[in-house]
Chains A and B, each alone.
Chain A
Amino acid sequence: MSETKRPATLRVFRYEAADSTLRPIIGDAVLPLSRDELVKLARDAMAQRTFVVHAVPGSGQADELCFIPSDDRCEILSIHSNGWHRHYGDHRRSLMQILNDLAAAVACSRLRLLDDHELRLELDRARPTLSFAITDSATLAEARTRLGDALELLGIEGARREETVLCASEAATNALVHGGGGGTVSLIPFDDRVRVVVADSGPGLNFLNWLEAPAKRAQASMGYGYKIILDHIDRVCLHTGTSGTTLILDQLI
């Protein structure tokens, strides 16, 4: 689907105060406002230490800008809508709701959006003790079983274990359906947490594909998988681009 025909999309930019740089983290580099305006709004949010939402109205379109400051930087989520807010009125979630939930998760520090360098740093911290290739629903089911067993051995039991397996399965399902047909699920134990990394080499998340399942699995997507992950994993990191998507799920012990 071409960019101009998408009903809505998300771009993420990062303003770093130290060197006053503004660069894209997710999506293309088309700025929703001029660079000077974005930098001013980012600095204002950082000065106020407050999550600021800024609406940019247009003719039949709208950009919702979320400025999410931290100590030395400000994440800018640009939610661009072509006047489309709900998904055909059925039971699936509205894309705008998904994007707003993502912004809220970043603001609450439950979701961290990674650039290429940050992803490499995270992945270089430790080697996985288990890794599964996911190529179909059978390998996904096998990975769930083995991941559950491994978590139990690491002392994660009961509902916490089931939630972690469920979230890993949601991420792996996304890799199967939208990530080029498969991916890998890896387990990395740390002293204070377990990490599950789900990676694919697909075309990258455009977030619309969380609602638009491929035709052969048209019933499979509710757009809720991400919400389950954000609600049940202590810390989530997301990197996505044209060379693939990686979700890092950290569950504290």
Chain B
Amino acid sequence: MLHTTVDKEPEPTVHLQGEMDLDCAETLRWAVGDAAVGAQEVVLDFAGVRFIDSSGTGIFVRLCLDMQQRGIRLHVRNLTPAVAQVFDMLRVRELVGEEVFAG
């Protein structure tokens, strides 16, 4: 199960904790939507994510693309090795843009 906490300061950040699989969509969207209120950039901190699969990755990719369409930039931080491996495998950087992973 995915748990999230949102910090508004110093920059809107969603801290992710747990597992990202087929049922993380609602939790992730709600948290990012909350963090994005009045913001143009939101940080997703993956430090607490111990598992992700192709379903969780698909949800993350779709969220990134939806946010980009709304003019909100997502930035990813602290990818764990487990997440980084799956993102590399599925070429997520090509799908959402290298800038999501910059900084």
Contacts and interface: CB of A to CB of B under 8 A. Distances in A.
Interface of A: 91-92, 137-138, 140-141, 144, 159, 162, 165-166, 169-170, 173, 176-177, 217, 219-222, 224-225, 228, 231
B19 A222 contact: no
B19 A141 contact: yes
Interface of B: 1, 19, 21-23, 25, 51, 53-55, 57-59, 61-62, 65, 82, 85-86, 89-90, 95
B1 A225 contact: no
A96 B61 CA distance: 22
Given A166-B53, A228-B54, A220 B86 contact: no
Given A91-B65, A224-B54, A228-B54, A219 B82 contact: no
Contacts of B89: 224, 228, 231
A169 B21 contact: yes
B65 A137 contact: no
Given A219-B58, A222-B58, A231-B89, A137 B22 contact: yes
Contact of B1 (A141, A159, A220): A141
Given A137-B22, A170-B53, 19 more contacts: A91-B58, A91-B61, A91-B65, A92-B58, A141-B1, A144-B51, A166-B53, A166-B86, A169-B51, A173-B21, A173-B22, A222-B55, A224-B54, A224-B57, A224-B89, A224-B90, A228-B54, A228-B86, A228-B89
Contact of B55 (A138, A141, A173): A173
Given A166-B86, A222-B61, A176 B22 contact: yes
A244 B95 CA distance: 33
A35 to B, nearest CB: 39
Nearest to B58: A222
A224 B87 CA distance: 11
A137 B21 CA distance: 8
A225 B55 contact: yes
Of all A-B residue pairs in the complex, the 8 with the closest CB atoms, nearest first, are A222-B58, A137-B23, A224-B54, A220-B55, A220-B22, A225-B54, A219-B62, A91-B95
Contacts of B86: 166, 228
Contacts of A159: 85
Nearest to A176: B22
A221 B95 contact: no
A219 B89 CA distance: 19
A176 B21 CA distance: 12
B9 to A, nearest CB: 30
B62 A170 contact: no
Contacts of B51: 144, 165-166, 169
**Most central of B22, B61, B85, B95 by chain A CB within 10 Å:** B22
A138 B90 contact: no
A221 B54 CA distance: 7
A231 B54 CA distance: 13
B28 to A, nearest CB: 10
B47 to A, nearest CB: 17
